[in-house]
Amino acid sequence: MILVSYFIGAKFTFSAKGFIFHDPNNYVKVNSYSTLAMVVILGLGLIYILAKALYFHDTHISPKLTTKLFHHKMTTLIQNSFELYSQGVIWLVYLYLITIVAVILGIFGVIYSWVTIVSGSFCAIATLLLILDIENELDEIDEGYKEEIENES
């Protein structure tokens, strides 16, 4: 809130009651843009985790990329399903919390309604992408299991 207030030039005082803005319009503007900033930061974190799930997942990383990562001593990028999906769920929970807060703030009119819509939309898209990645992983496991059964027969 302090950074957003500084960038838009909103005057405020800080007391035991919290932030007190001299202009109510600045209060709405600062709330809106600080909420949007949190959604963007959480979104970037989720995009990073989804990119790791797509390119650096230990179940389907290419041997060529693995070799390059070992050569550059960047093997910490290679992660297993538990690490990736637990990170993704944690970031997604934070995004859900921010979205719930944005909805409540939107109902009371202390943030712009478009911020609530952007937050909700991004939350839905991130949830869908994480679920699709988990489903793809489960399909790969299922196919491997079927091949193993066929080879035993």
Q: What is the pLDDT of residue 153?
A: 63
Domain for residue 6, yes or no? no
Domain for residue 46, yes or no? yes
pLDDT digits (tens, 9 = 90+) for 54-90: 877 777 777 888 788 888 888 777 777 788 888 899 9
At 64, the amino acid letter reads K
- With beta carbons less than 8 A apart as the criterion, state whether 56 and 78 touch: yes
In this prediction the pTM is 0.78
pLDDT digits (tens, 9 = 90+) for 82-132: 888 888 999 999 999 999 999 999 999 999 999 999 999 999 999 998 898
Share above pLDDT 70 across residues of the chain, in percent, rounded to a whole number:
97
Domain for residue 11, yes or no? no
Structural domain count of the chain:
1
Domain for residue 35, yes or no? yes
- C-alpha angle with apex 54: 53 to 59, nearest 5 degrees? 70
Q: Give 88's contacts (C-beta < 8 A, 6+ positions apart).
A: 46, 49, 50, 53, 130, 133
Distance of alpha carbon 81 from alpha carbon 58, whole angstroms:
8
- Domain region containing 33: 25-148
Domain for residue 7, yes or no? no
CA-based Rg of the chain, rounded to a whole angstrom? 22
Token pair belonging to 109 = 């009119």
Domain for residue 12, yes or no? no
Domain for residue 107, yes or no? yes
The residue among 111, 126, 153 whose CA lies nearest residue 1 is 111
Q: Give 26's contacts (C-beta < 8 A, 6+ positions apart).
A: 5, 8, 10, 11, 12
Distance of alpha carbon 38 from alpha carbon 43, whole angstroms:
8
Domain for residue 144, yes or no? yes
